[in-house]
Amino acid sequence: MKQLTVKDLSAEEKLRLICSDGRWHTPDLGGKLPRVAVSDGPIGLRKENIYEDGRVETVPAISYPAVQSLANTWNAECARLMGEALADDCIENDVDILLAPGVNIKRDPLNGRNFEYFSEDPYLAGTLAKAYIEGLQSHNVGACLKHYYANNLEYNRLEQSSEVDERTLREIYLKPFEIACEAKPVSAMCAYNRINGVYASENTKGFRILREEFGFDGAMYSDWEAVRDRTAACKAGLDIEFPFNQANYDKLVEDFKAGRISEEEVDACAARVLELAYRIEAMRKKRKVQRTKEERHAVARRLAEEGIVLLKNEGVLPLKKEERVAVSGSFAAPERCSLVAGGGSSMVRVDGTVFDLPALLRERMRGEVRYEAAFWTTGIVSNCQKPHKAFMDAAESDVAIVCVGTGADLESEGGDRERLRLPSVQENMILEVARRNKRTVVVLFAGSAIDMGAWQDEVSAIVWAGFCGEAGAEALADILTGRVCPSGKLSETLPLCYEDTPVFGIYKDACVARYQEGLDVGYRYYDTYGIPVAFPFGHGLSYAQFDYSALKVKCSKNTVQVRVLVENTSKTDGKETVQLYIRPVQTFVYRPEKELKDFCKLALKAGEKKEAVFDLGEKAFAYWSTGVDGWRADDGLYEIVIGASSRDIRLTAKIRLEKGVFTLL
């Protein structure tokens, strides 16, 4: 087929081209050009088959760990693997573009979609999203970077305006998009909300930043039904509206005829939709499924293994083979493994995979493993079912494991959570079990922070399972029994309570969400103001022990190389994520106490030593200056801070930056 340009199309065709075809396709203009098929992600493929009689059926697919769990791996290789495996799922189902990943910042732990997002930190979110996109696109399936931008709550998301100052936008909310754009996603999706009063779908300034500053060269989609005025959106640079909306299309045609929008303006969008169609056609030719379903399940398992976080362990884990274990809580063996997932457009239909932690523990243990669901959850209500049996089992066992959490009833697109605490039935369950067994382990299935204040001190161990996907039970069983050494770390702070969060009490009504806390998001806030937290950003325990030493900082003109030696001093093989933060010591603008600038996950056999190496440029020291409308690294003193978490600082070194030259002090 000859490749068409906008010159080959009539005005009517171009108007049609920028308005999509149905829910999940770009128009092919009567077979004149390749039709592009898009489907949801990011956790697995959620493809809808729409039949002629109107029936809609979701295709079963592999459920990978939710993005929060992926981020807890702190491993770009894991993100790349997930992208690669997802590409196979897409190829098998004739999907050209996966509507993923989303890089919105976790500003508020109650956001109903946090499980779909990476982190409270823009560098971690951007870096992992970039690897995810690279994985997907290297296997010739397109990515769609979403939701652009400042969409950080579900509450009234279609109308509410995020009111954010320019510096905060640049440093926190736009930053992950900037980093992810380095992977050249073929498309991006605007958010529903307004930004400083202007709809994301009509945000000329936002689209200009994305294209001209971040180098985005793909097609820009609307979020589904996010367009209010197709003409205004087209003028701003929104290339294609999804799904097809007859009224919006008719109005666009009318506006065009009345001269309210020019042919050049339509051309700019139409040209990018054409370019997308041909880019996808070229990718299609190179596609080949590279992993079997079993191999993709193994990817899901590897990601779950690395994404599960051991939050607390007072000697009870790993379980000893001969110990008798009492498992309770319906999350241990939900009827469908999609129950240990969040809800909404990212919810995968999982068929044929059984999520049964007690059964897997039985395979691994010699001691008896009892299981009693004891409660189940619907909405915010949890109901008890034979709790006394579970309590008796706990009393009679060496170790009690209570599996609690949220699931799609409490965490879902379209609404936010009402509170950070677990339903009281679950909290009571933990307390009752812990009262009967000192060696109680809580396993948490959730996609966003949980306030554990009511029971955290009463139990011996806490494992953050997250929404760990269809292979999560296998990963958990291996971690609980010590076959796999836990290596996940928190990609978001777990605060003590909602009242302690930087967004508590901050102005919000149906029209406006004021981001008054500015740069003080997540650990930037807790660490600057010394607020105690339950578990800090970057925290995660291991069965191994790691010793940090020999920090070497080499300054050469405008770069800084940092090396640190990490030794596994234990008898257990493990993995450790070394985090590099920068702490400005003396500055003339406000800066958070410290900010993550790099990280590195090392696999270390028992007794092994390895060096983590980081290369920093001036960019790592810069802030967005509203004085010069650009990035700027001020002369002054900075501290290189090496941590095992944002609150477990192992080594530091001071350097000076003067007229673009770094020197070690």
DSSP string, 540-567: -B-SS-EEEEEEEEEEETTEEEEEEEEE
Contact residues for 340 (Cβ-Cβ < 8 A; gap 6+): 331, 334, 355, 405, 407, 445, 465, 467, 468, 472
Least separation in angstroms between residue 200's CB and ligand BGC is 11
| Nearer to ligand BGC (CB atom), residue 219 or residue 494 | 219
Least separation in angstroms between residue 147's CB and ligand BGC is 6
| Nearer to ligand BGC (CB atom), residue 313 or residue 345 | 345
Q: Rounded distance, CA 203 to CA 148, Å?
A: 10
**β-bridge partners, 240:** 221
Least separation in angstroms between residue 607's CB and ligand BGC is 46
Q: Which residue has the tokens 């020999």?
A: 550
Least separation in angstroms between residue 346's CB and ligand BGC is 7
Please give the residue ranges that form the binding site for ligand BGC (CB under 6 A): 40, 99, 146, 223-224, 345
Output the six-digit token pair for 309.
């976080």
10 Å Cβ neighbour count for 309? 27
| CA dist list (Å): 573 to 76, 409, 607, 650 | 20, 38, 8, 21
| Nearer to ligand BGC (CB atom), residue 40 or residue 593 | 40
Q: Rounded distance, CA 27 to CA 20, Å?
A: 5
β-strands 56-58, 461-464 pairing? unpaired
| Nearer to ligand BGC (CB atom), residue 193 or residue 487 | 193
Least separation in angstroms between residue 412's CB and ligand BGC is 11
- 3-state DSSP call for residue 489? coil
Contact 577, 538 (CB under 8 A): yes
Output the six-digit token pair for 663.
């020197």
| Nearer to ligand BGC (CB atom), residue 40 or residue 241 | 40
Q: Rounded distance, CA 397 to CA 392, Å?
A: 9
Q: Rounded distance, CA 656 to CA 660, Å?
A: 10
Contact 292, 92 (CB under 8 A): no
Contact residues for 30 (Cβ-Cβ < 8 A; gap 6+): none
**β-bridge partners, 220:** 188
| Nearer to ligand BGC (CB atom), residue 67 or residue 350 | 67
Output the six-digit token pair for 359.
């059964």
Output the six-digit token pair for 223.
């979020």
Least separation in angstroms between residue 415's CB and ligand BGC is 12
| Nearer to ligand BGC (CB atom), residue 223 or residue 593 | 223
| Nearer to ligand BGC (CB atom), residue 199 or residue 537 | 199
648 is catalytic: no
Contact residues for 195 (Cβ-Cβ < 8 A; gap 6+): 149, 150, 161, 162, 164, 169, 203, 206
Least separation in angstroms between residue 46's CB and ligand BGC is 8
| Burial label, 55 (beta-carbon count in 10 A; 0-12, 13-18, 19+) | exposed
| Nearer to ligand BGC (CB atom), residue 223 or residue 474 | 223
| Nearer to ligand BGC (CB atom), residue 99 or residue 513 | 99
β-strands 187-190, 533-535 pairing? unpaired
The arrangement of strands across the sheet holding 198-199 comes to 198-199, 194-195, 161-163, 512-514
Catalytic residue, chosen from 21, 223, 393, 520, is 223
Least separation in angstroms between residue 97's CB and ligand BGC is 11
Q: Rounded distance, CA 444 to CA 433, Å?
A: 15
Least separation in angstroms between residue 54's CB and ligand BGC is 18
Strand ranges (E), 89-152 = 97-99, 142-148
| Nearer to ligand BGC (CB atom), residue 338 or residue 646 | 338
Least separation in angstroms between residue 128's CB and ligand BGC is 18
Contact 43, 469 (CB under 8 A): yes
Q: 570: part of which helix (H) or strand (E)?
A: none
Contact 133, 185 (CB under 8 A): yes
Q: Rounded distance, CA 210 to CA 215, Å?
A: 6
Q: What DSSP character marks residue 171?
A: I
Least separation in angstroms between residue 245's CB and ligand BGC is 14
| Nearer to ligand BGC (CB atom), residue 103 or residue 459 | 103
Least separation in angstroms between residue 193's CB and ligand BGC is 11
| Nearer to ligand BGC (CB atom), residue 224 or residue 621 | 224
Amino acid, single-letter form, for residue 465:
A
Contact 331, 443 (CB under 8 A): yes
β-strands 559-568, 546-556 pairing? antiparallel
Least separation in angstroms between residue 225's CB and ligand BGC is 8
Contact 137, 185 (CB under 8 A): yes
Q: Rounded distance, CA 469 to CA 43, Å?
A: 8
DSSP string, 4-25: P-GGGS-HHHHHHHTT-BTTTB
Q: Which residues are catalytic?
A: 223
